[in-house]
Chain A
Amino acid sequence: SQTIHQWPATLVQPVGSPLSLECTVEGTSNPNLYWYRQAAGRGLQLLFYSVGIGQISSEVPQNLSASRPQDRQFILSSKKLLLSDSGFYLCAWSGGLSNEQFFGPGTRLTVL
């Protein structure tokens, strides 16, 4: 069966520091991968998606970037965090004939 992992689970970082969040998927090949952000009291916003290694599409302009160095690895990064980057970051995957997305447990990021 397929599983999706995210780490770290929680992170507290100072403004201006770098960021690296990791997401890995097991049990499937060539998945579509997604990064979402859920700000406090708000819905989910799609940040990036990837349909293959090295292929990244950005949905909104922002202080973040994404990379996919391996088929089942998706990384969210920033060179300098802003206060507004605080939130709950969710990774998801989809694949095969179904358009259903499966979500990871999330990373709660607090920027101070």
Chain B
Amino acid sequence: GNSVTQMEGPVTLSEEAFLTINCTYTATGYPSLFWYVQYPGEGLQLLLKATKADDKGSNKGFEATYRKETTSFHLEKGSVQVSDSAVYFCALIPYLTGGGNKLTFGTGTQLKVEL
């Protein structure tokens, strides 16, 4: 079946530090890959996505590259801010969904950024 594995949190960083949150996946074919962010008490927002191998998704200074050879989609940001504190979810939609675009999520990684 399909699955997504994320590094466990919480991850605590100082402001302006470099961020990496690891994500690997298991799926047949070429799934679409996503990073969602959940700020405290809110729903999920799409942060970025990539739909084919070697695609790079980017938004708000965050980047992730679809690596088919390592089945990975690691999230990176060069300089984090306190406002980036949130829970980050890696997710996939399989290439053939059989009806409905069903997301499979990782367990989420909590990021805390301190001054």
**Chain A residues packing against B (C-beta within 8 Å):** 6, 32, 34, 42-46, 49-51, 57, 59, 90, 92, 94, 99-106
Contact = CB atoms under 8 A, between A and B. Distances in A.
19 contacts: A34-B100, A43-B106, A43-B107, A44-B103, A44-B108, A45-B105, A49-B100, A51-B99, A57-B100, A92-B44, A92-B103, A99-B32, A99-B101, A100-B34, A101-B46, A101-B101, A103-B36, A105-B42, A106-B42
A8 B105 CA distance: 25
Contacts of B97: 99
B43 A46 contact: no
A32 B103 contact: no
Nearest to A49: B100
Contacts of A42: 107-108
B89 interface: yes
A32 B43 contact: no
Interface of B: 32, 34, 36, 42-46, 49, 89, 93, 97, 99-108
Contacts of A101: 46, 101, 103
B104 to A, nearest CB: 8
A34 B97 CA distance: 14
Contacts of B100: 32, 34, 49-51, 57
B106 A49 contact: no
A5 B93 CA distance: 23
B68 to A, nearest CB: 18
Given A43-B105, A44-B89, A44-B105, A90 B99 contact: no
